[in-house]
Amino acid sequence: MQVEAHLQKIIERDGKVHLTLIDPASQAPERAAEIALAAAKGGTDAIMIGGSTGASGTLLDETVIKIKEKVDVPTILFPGSSAGLSQYADAVFFMSLLNSRDIGYVITNQVLGAPLVYRSGIEPISMAYLVIEPGGTVGWVGDAKLIPRQKPEIAVAYALAGKYLGMHYTYLEAGSGAHTPISPQMIGAVKRALGDNKLIVGGGIRDPETAKLCAAAGADMIVTGTVVEEVKDVTAKVAELVSAIKS
């Protein structure tokens, strides 16, 4: 499966992509697989697997394996470091946290992880990863110099740098569980600068209204994660979100 090409076809067909993020550290692999199946039934287009802390090793491998036993949609690793790689996934967002003060998150982890990606045949999808205020756990762990919410021009500059370096995707991240999502003004400004390059937005998206607002502003892909851990009916919640961004 060529995951990047698959996602592009969904965008051409539906206009937008919905991604469900599952953190292996938040539940047992069997429960993660149940959440993934429920999300797939709700219409999510792919399952992202990863987290800022604890999403590595045997737990990560078992989570990916269990999820792939349950769903047919692509599994995409969302690694917090080189330890967040698993040979069992379909693809990996091979990303650089461009606004990190720590060189480890800009390039060192990527150098350490690249040989495993090469040997395993996981599809790498290049990504510029940008953490916006408030940033949450990933902002703290990744030692990000948070991009101010009211400074879209800074996000645009970083996004353009990523594009010119050859990265296919840009991810604007407010932080898992953020109380406030990325502003429509920042999303729109970044998307206009990126042109055909794909823009992913995540963090603080818990309801259809917010998801639709982000999609309408220019996001090509919407990520929801924390909300699927909080609700009882994952299928219904994901269906609401998918309907909102693709309507």
Between strands 221-224 and 17-22, the pairing is parallel
Compute the distance between CA of residue 8 and CA of residue 62 in angstroms, rounded to an integer.
28
Q: What is the pLDDT of residue 1?
A: 66
Taking only the tens place, the pLDDT of each residue in 194-208 is 999 999 999 999 999
Compute the distance between CA of residue 109 and CA of residue 4 in angstroms, rounded to an integer.
22
**Mean of the per-residue pLDDT values for the chain?**
96
Which is nearest to 40 in space by CA: 54, 24, 20? 20
**Which residues of the chain register pLDDT less than 50?**
none
Q: What is the pLDDT of residue 49?
A: 97
Widest distance between CA atoms in the chain? 43
Domains and CATH numbers, the chain: 3-246 (3.20.20.390)
Q: Are 216 and 184 in contact (CB under 8 A)?
A: yes
Compute the distance between CA of residue 111 and CA of residue 32 in angstroms, rounded to an integer.
29
Q: What is the pLDDT of residue 41?
A: 98
> Is the backbone peptide bond immediately before 148 cis, with ω within 30 degrees of 0?
no
Q: What is the pLDDT of residue 181?
A: 94
82 secondary structure, DSSP code = G
Q: What is the pLDDT of residue 51?
A: 85
Q: Which pTM was predicted?
A: 0.95
For helices 208-217 and 184-194, give the axis angle rounded to 10 degrees.
Answer: 40
Q: What is the pLDDT of residue 177?
A: 77
Q: What is the pLDDT of residue 226?
A: 85
Percent of the chain with pLDDT over 70: 100
Taking only the tens place, the pLDDT of each residue in 146-196 is 999 999 999 999 999 999 999 999 999 999 878 889 999 999 999 999 999
DSSP bridge partners of 147: 132
